Structure 1
Amino acid sequence: MKNNSKVWYVTGASQGLGLTLVKKLLESGYRVAATSRNAQNLKQAVGVIDTERFLPLVVDLNNPDCVNESIQQTIAAFGNIDVVVNNAGYGMMGAVEEIAEQDIRKIFDVNVLSAVNVVKGVLPFMRKQQSGYIVNVGSVAGFVGAPGWSVYSATKAAIAAFSEVLALDVKEFGIKVTVAEPSGFRTGFLTENSLANINTGIEGYEAVKAARERYLAGNGKQPGDPDKASAILIELAESKEPPLHLYLGQDAYKRASEKIATMAAELEAWKNTSISADFQ
């Protein structure tokens, strides 16, 4: 199979959407550098050993030196990096007062700071080549949250805000940015681990408890198709004008559009109060 021109760098590639994307990229002839915490698990999951097109990397995404080394390895192997997909991340559900501080810091480290580290590492190369495409995988939860997902939603809201301003900063270099914001996909994301920290000893929080039961009951039945999402991401990378925000899944579209309408109505209802805060 001939190589397609673009080189992809994908984080969190040993499972979920990242794994599906890497497989589809390799099937399509792209060259792919993929990161995981365990190289053997990554190789087994991908099932392709082709050193000409596939570079599995063990990377601690919260260690900038390790990230930079992996980027240098990718450049050495393939010559450049055209597309970065910051996919690494995980979910966590629970009432905020029950979630330990170290767990909050950890999820921000993985879901937010790791993406920032990768972007910081790759930008010097993309600026030099005056091109590039960065896809940060967020979530519809970063815009429209559900009960019990406050900390997780905060990490994904941070990714969305980071992506928005990053797009402004790097536009002059020919670099494009998209934040992909899916709803429920059948990727193994929704596990007991992500739903475990909830209401073990606090009375109330009925909305959170009910939401947890709904998510558990729907696990494995999510409407989102990771194969289709991966195909969309590949198509976006070939687009001249990819969107800044892309909601993936009918549920994501519905939730986002309803919130936008609600926000617009509230903004107008409180317009006079808003503008009254200025000096007259």
Structure 2
Amino acid sequence: MDKQVWFVTGASKGLGLSLVKKLLAGGYRVAATSRNVDELQNAVGVRTERFLPLAVKLTEEESVAAAITKTIAHFGSLDVVVNNAGYGLLGALEELSDADARQNFDVNVFGSINVIRKALPQMREQRSGHILNIASIGGFTGAFPGFGIYCATKFAVHGFSESLAEEVRPFGIHVTVVSPGYFRTNFLEDSSLNVPVNAIDAYQNVRESQKIHQESYNGNQPGDPDKAAALMIEVAGMPEPPVHLFLGQDAYELAEAKIRAVQKDMASMQVSATSTGFSETLFS
């Protein structure tokens, strides 16, 4: 497993940085991306032939393609892709502009799809590989006031990951969508969490959610990113890895609450909702 080649986006901070450090310490070969390659190199703090830092703009296909090409040329293969890059966006739907929403989708969704599109030819040729798409528990339950657009991007990651898993299964390629809960990274800091420019005072529940996340949760998240990174490496080594990986006790509790809520709604409407087909008419 120490010969695996990993490609990790958004690696200069947070979970991505923890993962890259853990991989390099374990003898893996790693290509990692950030918008600023010097910042990435300094954050990782290791210079070795097993580490290839790359400056990439994920929203530009040409930039992504060049990074994948350099990775394969440098290491000779591409075994595990981790789509980790992304950022949080906080604000009620009414508060956020069209540009705010589209930019969040461009990075969190289409940036990952760009990487997948460019990585798959090599993986299909190898008839092996593993793609880990970092979503969020907010991609499974949207019950977070002020995080509607962000949750929508992560729901999208869940959706395309599930379809992708079926599409690439015949080629021996695995896909796992990773849904972390609250991990102690810089995700809730100003560098990773955008807030609305024109806040609407009427949305008191959104302001309260914003205050709690920025002042109470930030720095006190229960999840250890190093332990999350270790588990992701373990999952990538499994012969039959899970399609869904929830990380953290809080993620499990929120997912279970969502499942119970859906089951309750389904049960309450089952008789009426399953009676909406065409009635059979019998002719004598």
Query: Which TM-score band (shorter chain)?
Result: over 0.9
Tell me if structure 2 keeps the 8 A contact 1:132–1:175.
yes
Residues 9-18 or 190-199, more deviating: 190-199
Helix, strand or coil for the counterpart of 2:277? coil
- In structure 2, the partner of 1:140 is 137
1:34 counterpart (32, 35, 47): 32
Tell me if structure 2 keeps the 8 A contact 1:163–1:178.
yes
Residues 40-49 or 268-277, more deviating: 268-277
Instruction: Give 1:192 shift.
Output: 3.6
Instruction: Give 1:13 shift.
Output: 0.5
When the two chains are superposed, the root-mean-square deviation of aligned CA atoms in Å is 1.3
- In structure 2, the partner of 1:206 is 204
Residue 182 of structure 2 is aligned to residue 184 of structure 1: yes
Question: Alpha-carbon deviations, 1:227-279, whole Å to 9, x = none?
Answer: 00000000001111111111111111000011101111211221122222222
Residue 257 of structure 2 is aligned to residue 255 of structure 1: no
With normalisation by structure 2, the TM-score equals: 0.94
- Give the distance between the partners of 1:273 and 1:40, measured in 2 at CA: 60
Tell me if structure 2 keeps the 8 A contact 1:185–1:225.
yes
Instruction: Give 1:197 shift.
Output: 1.5
- Give the distance between the partners of 2:227 and 2:114, measured in 1 at CA: 28
Residue 21 of structure 2 is aligned to residue 23 of structure 1: yes
Helix, strand or coil for the counterpart of 2:88? coil
With normalisation by structure 1, the TM-score equals: 0.95
Instruction: Give 1:210 shift.
Output: 1.5
- Give the distance between the partners of 1:264 and 1:254, measured in 2 at CA: 15
- Give the distance between the partners of 2:276 and 2:72, measured in 1 at CA: 51
- Give the distance between the partners of 2:79 and 2:42, measured in 1 at CA: 25
Instruction: Give 1:196 shift.
Output: 2.7
Tell me if structure 2 keeps the 8 A contact 1:11–1:85.
yes
* Counterpart mapping for 1:57-76 below 5 A: 57-76=54-73
Residue 23 of structure 2 is aligned to residue 8 of structure 1: no
- In structure 1, the partner of 2:222 is 223
The residue identity in structure 2 corresponding to 1:262 is A
Tell me if structure 2 keeps the 8 A contact 1:107–1:155.
yes
Tell me if structure 2 keeps the 8 A contact 1:95–1:199.
no
Instruction: Give 1:62 shift.
Output: 1.0
Tell me if structure 2 keeps the 8 A contact 1:195–1:212.
no
- Give the distance between the partners of 1:271 and 1:5, measured in 2 at CA: 52
- In structure 2, the partner of 1:105 is 102
- In structure 2, the partner of 1:77 is 74
- Give the distance between the partners of 1:16 and 1:104, measured in 2 at CA: 23
* Identical-pair percentage: 51
Instruction: Give 1:203 shift.
Output: 3.7
Question: Alpha-carbon deviations, 1:65-84, whole Å to 9, x = none?
Answer: 21111111111000100000
Instruction: Give 1:113 shift.
Output: 0.2
- In structure 2, the partner of 1:95 is 92
2:52 counterpart (40, 51, 55): 55
Helix, strand or coil for the counterpart of 1:125? helix
- Find runs of 4+ consecutive structure 1 residues off by over 3 angstroms: none
- The total of aligned residue pairs comes to 276
- In structure 1, the partner of 2:153 is 155
Question: Alpha-carbon deviations, 1:112-160, whole Å to 9, x = none?
Answer: 0000000000111111111100000000011112111000000000000
Instruction: Give 1:222 shift.
Output: 0.3
The answer for unaligned runs of 5 or more in structure 2 is 280-284
Question: Alpha-carbon deviations, 1:140-191, whole Å to 9, x = none?
Answer: 0111121110000000000000100000111011100000000111110002
Residues 210-219 or 32-41, more deviating: 210-219
